[in-house]
Amino acid sequence: MANKSPQIPNIAELMDKIKSGKIFSEIAKEITESQLWTSSFRHGYADTPRNRVLQIASNVWLHLHPVKMHRHALRIKFTWCMGGITFLLFLSTVVTGVILMFYYRPVGEYAYYDMKYLQYDVPFGMLMRNMHRWAAHAMVITVWLHMFRVFLTGSYKPPRELNWVIGVFLVTFTLLLSFTGYLLPWDQLAMWAVTVGTNMARATPFLGNEGPFAEFVGVTPRYDARALLIGGSLVGPPALLRFYVLHCIFIPLIAGALMIVHFWRIRKDGGISGPL
């Protein structure tokens, strides 16, 4: 083959190859028989049932999947793909978030200027920040849609009750992740949105200084549920540090662990729900 002199391609023949799909197998053959390929992969992949099972079972990244599944569970019309997209968006925030952490310091004096630095001086800093923020917002929407679809298909019914409960924890943690991240840019939007949000803790019955029955407990503005949350009586540097730790370590670890349990349970509950 290599010795053949180059030919002027015959258009009709070429169209024929494209139409019949033969062109793909020819290209695949060219590639897999090249020296570069054969030196990297010593043997081919035989598409046998055994190998299909092994691809899943012996791969650390894929093995949370079952090896076989119901045909109907593949239908996008059924799942809307929303659970998977939520997970993918979570992974995107993890990757972009780690990159942002290299440049960001959760300190009152620095935080805002680190954001400016990220945006104007760090190569691709603005893009990383945009991707992180938009993925986070999108994740909030997709998790709501996922929950909506799970409700509409009645997939929380036995035997999947517990996975629904885990899901409610996940949606709560998704919102908390987004909320704690909201403070980190340390701009006006951040500070006041979080002030409005955390002011609610002040009204916690018994435990907030303005909440009902607080006078029986004796909490003060400096020592109540809200102060515990933000480390003071107003949203200041201690709140920034607390939210940073919650946002980058505590909540992602818990949410990540719960996601693994969530996926495991899907498998153990008999795969994606479907009409019996």
Partner 1 sequence: MAEAASPKKKIEEVPEKLHVWPYLVRLEFLCALVVIIALAVWSIVIDAPLEEAANPTKTPNPSKAPWYFLGLQDILVYFDPWFAGVVAPVLIIVGLMLIPYLDVNPKGNGYYTYHERKVAIWVYCFGFLVLWIALIIMGVFLRGPGWNLFMPWQYWDPHKVVALVNVDLPYAFGFRDYTWSAIFGGGVLLAYFGIGTGAYFFMERKALKSVGFLRMFLKIQLALIMIGIVIKIVLRIGFNIKYIMVTPWISV
Instruction: Note the residues at the interface with ligand HEM (CB under 6 A).
Output: 79, 82-84, 86-87, 90, 143, 146-147, 150, 153, 155-156, 160, 163-164, 167-168, 170-171, 174, 259, 262, 266, 272-273
- Residue placing its CB nearer to partner 1 in the complex, 67 or 261: 67
CB of 97 to partner 1, least distance (A): 13
CB of 144 to ligand HEM, least distance (A): 8
Query: Of 41, 42, 13, 45, which Cα lies nearest the Cα of 26?
Result: 13
Q: What are the two backbone dihedrals, phi and then psi, of residue 157, each rounded to the nearest 5 degrees?
A: -75, 160
From the list partner 1, ligand HEM, none, pick the one residue 86 interacts with, judged by a Cβ distance below 5 to 8 Å according to partner type.
ligand HEM
Residue indicated by tokens 């019914």: 157
Q: Which residues is 174 bridged to in the sheet?
A: none
d(CA 149, CA 186): 36
- Residue placing its CB nearer to ligand HEM in the complex, 155 or 180: 155
From the list ligand HEM, partner 1, none, pick the one residue 129 interacts with, judged by a Cβ distance below 5 to 8 Å according to partner type.
partner 1
CB of 12 to partner 1, least distance (A): 32
From the list ligand HEM, partner 1, none, pick the one residue 233 interacts with, judged by a Cβ distance below 5 to 8 Å according to partner type.
none
- Residue placing its CB nearer to ligand HEM in the complex, 159 or 236: 159
CB of 5 to partner 1, least distance (A): 38
From the list ligand HEM, partner 1, none, pick the one residue 262 interacts with, judged by a Cβ distance below 5 to 8 Å according to partner type.
ligand HEM
CB of 227 to partner 1, least distance (A): 15
d(CA 172, CA 11): 59
Given a contact cutoff of 8 angstroms between Cβ atoms, the answer to whether 131 and 150 are in contact is no
Given a contact cutoff of 8 angstroms between Cβ atoms, the answer to whether 104 and 117 are in contact is no
Q: Cα-atom radius of gyration of the chain, to the nearest Å?
A: 27
CB of 245 to ligand HEM, least distance (A): 20
Question: How many other β-carbons are positioned within 10 Å of the β-carbon of residue 245?
Answer: 13
From the list ligand HEM, partner 1, none, pick the one residue 68 interacts with, judged by a Cβ distance below 5 to 8 Å according to partner type.
partner 1
Residue 159 CB partners (closer than 8 Å, separation 6+): 269, 270
CB of 214 to ligand HEM, least distance (A): 33
- Residue placing its CB nearer to ligand HEM in the complex, 99 or 259: 259
- Residue placing its CB nearer to ligand HEM in the complex, 147 or 240: 147
Given a contact cutoff of 8 angstroms between Cβ atoms, the answer to whether 107 and 240 are in contact is yes
Query: Of 244, 227, 127, which Cα lies nearest the Cα of 185?
Result: 244
From the list ligand HEM, partner 1, none, pick the one residue 259 interacts with, judged by a Cβ distance below 5 to 8 Å according to partner type.
ligand HEM
d(CA 151, CA 145): 10
- Residue placing its CB nearer to ligand HEM in the complex, 204 or 273: 273
From the list ligand HEM, partner 1, none, pick the one residue 177 interacts with, judged by a Cβ distance below 5 to 8 Å according to partner type.
none
Chain center to CA of 201 = 28
Tokens found for residue 259: 């996601």
